[in-house]
Structure 1
Amino acid sequence: MDIPTDLKHKPVIVAEGYDRIDGRSAYDSDAKGLSLGLAQWNDRGRVDISAKVWRHTGEKWSRQSEELPLHRVLDLAILVCRSMRYLREEGYRYPRGYDEADPTIDRIGLQGDAMTLSVCTDNDHIDGDLRLLQDALARDGELLGERIRVLSALLQDM
């Protein structure tokens, strides 16, 4: 199934057939492709690049397809990697999986400020939800590890 080129997001580089490798949903996913292209929100004279996950219901392209600016895609990758490292190497030191006095995981400098990562203590079910997150990461360790190794190798090459 070819990614459409007649919509507002204009694909430039595509990864079609993504449904075959979409994590735990592989071969049964509505995410049919990924693309880098010209963002749908571009204003006259200004061009932004975005990444898009193309979802298909089986009958038509879905409105639930997601388009993200590239910096957000990278920020999400930073969030995932740093969170995994925290849960694997640091969180286990605390009885609840995090420091209750200071739930901050890290401050990562970006654009003259910092992205602060912390355990969401406003969540009324944080203890159980944190365990569920850890369990899911452990269950998907091979899936995620493969992608992180590929990303790491690409970053090293750059």
Structure 2
Amino acid sequence: MNIHASMNHKPVIVSENYGEVDGRFAGATEVRALSLGLSQGNEEGQANVAARVWRDADEQATEPSLELPIHRILDLSILVCSALAHFSEAYRYEQLYDPQNPVIGRIGLQGSAMTVAVCTDNEQIHEDIRLFNEALSDNGEMIGERLRTLTRALKELGYE
């Protein structure tokens, strides 16, 4: 596989075989690689570290490659962990959340807080939250493996 630099993303660290380990989509995914690299910043001469999801280059791909700044990847990881924590106790609620208080938590980040909440704007939230909970449960082994790997990596970096 050959991942080429573009004007917007210059790969530095890659997982070129990601299609083989893409969770339950492994071997049958349109995602072919992940990369961390440099992307053009907002100001001239400023570079940002960003991740990119590389999709198959054929015409069948419905979505282009996606690039995310590294802080957003970490924020998504925080969001995932907040959701997992919520759903580990969600059985206590008839609708898997408290409709009177849909906020799951607020996580302090850089002088403010990221609010994590159940999306009550979703007209089908009661069905969708049930399906989401089932999907988390069905994928528990895969998620757990990745969380344990992430935990080891964070410990190696001194984040305990």
**TM-score, normalising length from structure 1?**
0.91
**1:101 corresponding residue in structure 2:** 100
- State the shift of 1:99 in Å: 1.0
- The answer for the alignment partner of 2:146 in structure 1 is 147
Identity %: 48
Q: Structure 1 residues 48 and 60, CA, compared in 2 at 3 Å: closer, same or farther?
A: farther
The equivalent residue for 2:23 is 23
Q: Does 1:32 align with 2:32?
A: yes
On the 8 A contact 1:10/1:40 being kept in 2, the answer is no
Q: Decide whether aligned partners of structure 1 residues 48 and 62 sit closer, same or farther in structure 2, where only a CA change above 3 A counts.
A: farther
Sort the Cα spacing of 1:61 and 1:129 in 2 relative to 1 into closer, same or farther, 3 A. Answer: closer
Q: TM-score, normalised by structure 2?
A: 0.90
Q: Counterpart in 1 of 2:75?
A: 75
- Quote the offset at 1:58 in angstroms: 3.9
143-152 or 61-70, which moves further after superposition?
A: 61-70
Give the partner amino acid of 2:47. V
Q: Measure, in 2, the Cα distance between the counterparts of 1:7 and 1:24.
A: 32
The answer to whether the 8 Å contact 1:106/1:118 transfers is yes
Q: Residue 127 of structure 2: SS of its match in structure 1?
A: helix
How many pairs align?
A: 157
Runs (5+) with no aligned partner, structure 2:
none
Q: Which amino acid aligns with 1:116?
A: T
Letter in 2 for 1:136: A
- The aligned residue for residue 87 of structure 2 is 87
